[in-house]
Amino acid sequence: WVMIDTIAGAKSSAIIYSIAETAKANNLKPYDYFEYLLTEIPKHLDDTDRSFLDDLLPWSPSLPENCRKPDKNEVK
């Protein structure tokens, strides 16, 4: 939490919290979602076309199932 004492640290924390809360609002598991983002984004660092980002958004239907919370209404 030492980093939050700076303006840049506070801004970074706000971004991370926003991503985590948006993931929760879209029925994702935040840890798994962050893990997925941190493995997928580096694969595209040399891309000039940023359209791959659409598939990484929390509401994207193409996210892997392990990022999603189980549906409570689903019958097992």
What is the number of other CB atoms lying within 10 angstroms of the CB of residue 58? 19
In a domain, 34, yes or no: yes
Q: How confident is the model at residue 5 (pLDDT cuts 50, 70, 90)?
A: confident
Torsion angle of the four alpha carbons 61, 53, 36, 12, in this order, in degrees rounded to the nearest 10? -130
Q: Print the domain residue range for 11.
A: 2-67
In a domain, 76, yes or no: no
pLDDT in tens, 38-64: 999 999 999 899 999 999 999 999 999
The number of folded domains in the chain is 1
pLDDT in tens, 11-39: 888 999 999 999 999 999 999 999 999 99
